[in-house]
Structure 1
Amino acid sequence: MKTKYKFATAIKALMVTQSLDKITVKDIVEHCQLTRQTFYRHFQDKYDLVNWYFEKLVQQSFKQMGIRYTLREALIEKFNFIIDEKIFFLQAFNSNDYNSLINYDYECIYKFYSDIIKSKLDCQALDTQTDFLLQMYCRGSIAMTINWINQDRGLSPDQLADLLIEALPIKLSLLLSDIQ
């Protein structure tokens, strides 16, 4: 695990001066003085590294929702983590690669909310309307989070969390009410 964090530290340091899309695996391994072989033993590519690091955030916030945190508390925790790692998230969310953090974040939150709703409804799949609303909400919440990071509109993590919860479609709000 320490090796993975060394790679994460290296890519974060490189992101201070260059965009994620321009950083190479060679740059990463040279920065942390490890080998390409070691890198590829742990990650498929630099985007896999970025997504792994993001997964650490998910474990600290969203995966604790309903256990230790409400939806609001988990969102605030996520946004505080983003503030603490602002350069990393600015670079990661602005990548244009298919394997970018935007797509990974979408898959994570969509699956998370979908699993909660399916469990609550005791079903194997979401109906078309609920699935549409959930896809729209997940994509919109990611877009607004990126907007918040890029434009720094002066919203606190608490305010952004409140707005995203308020933006939940009524049907989803009712289905997720016990974690709010």
Structure 2
Amino acid sequence: MENNENTKQRFVAALTALMAAKPLDKITVKEIVEKSGKTRQTFYRCFQDKYDLVNWHFERLAEKSFLQMGVRLTLREGLEEKFRFIKNEQVFFAAAFQSEDYNSLVAYDYECIMRFYTNIIEKKTKRPLDADTRFLLDMYCRGSISMTAQWARRNMDLPPEKMADLLIQALPEPLEELLSDLQPQ
């Protein structure tokens, strides 16, 4: 019997194959289920909908990249890992970043990185974000996600290392002071 992780990966593979032919927003759960060889019931035991599937796969990326910043990776290394992962799964992420659904990957990525950076800053400063820092972080996260989505949609024309460099250069000075020295523990 196949374990839950393998089942979820089969759904990812099926969705990726379908994304090569049409936009995510046009793909149905029925098509994903048929392509995967699994049942609709199995799909819904694993995921709420196709966007939940996309976001679950994105979480695998997060676990290996930016959530490792300050744990086993520096800020630069975490961003480079994120962009390498996205590039290695180009078909999937190019299509996923096209979606404009309220459950889209863009919205999910924003929530993940906003929460992650907020936690790092609050832990480092030992206090909640002040209004100015929250504004700058919100603006930076939204811009970062927008540029990541644009990069993914236009065939990833810059190398992952260059994308990481540019996102670090784009950090507003107060955020740079709080985030740029992230070192593995």
TM class, shorter-length: over 0.9
Quote the residue 1:25 is aligned against: 29
2:66 to 62, 74, 78: 62
Residue 161 of structure 1 is matched in structure 2 by: 164
The residue number in structure 1 matching 2:105 is 101
- Give the aligned residue type for 1:99: N
How do 1:61-140 and structure 2 match up within 5 A?
A: 61-123=65-127, 125-140=128-143
| Structure 1 equivalent of residue 153 of structure 2 | 150
The count of aligned residue pairs is 179
State the alpha-carbon separation in 1 of the partners of residues 29 and 157 from structure 2. 35
The residue aligned with 2:16 is: 12
Q: State the identity %.
A: 60
Residues 1:178 and 2:184 aligned together: no
Aligned partner of residue 98 in structure 1, secondary structure: coil
Distance 1:153 1:106 in 2: 19
CA distance in structure 1 between the aligned counterparts of 2:25 and 2:167, rounded to whole angstroms: 29
State the distance in 2 between where 1:11 and 1:84 align: 16
Tell me the distance in 2 between the aligned counterparts of 1:48 and 1:149. 19
How far residue 60 of structure 1 moved from its aligned partner, in angstroms, is 0.5
TM-score of the two chains, using structure 2 as the length reference = 0.93
Deviations 1:42-86 (A, max 9, x none): 100000000000000000111211121111011111111111111
Structure 1 residue runs of 4 or more that deviate by more than 4 Å after TM superposition: none
The letter of the residue matching 1:3 is: T
CA distance in 2, matches of 1:153, 1:80: 10
Alpha-carbon distance in 1 for matches of 2:180, 2:69:
12
Q: 2:39 aligns with which of 35, 38, 41?
A: 35
Higher relative contact order (CA 8 A, sep 6+): 2
Structure 1: tracts of 5 or more residues without a match: none
Q: TM-score, normalised by structure 1?
A: 0.96
Q: Structure 1 residues 9-18 or 145-154, which shifts more?
A: 145-154
Residues 2-11 or 46-55, more deviating:
2-11
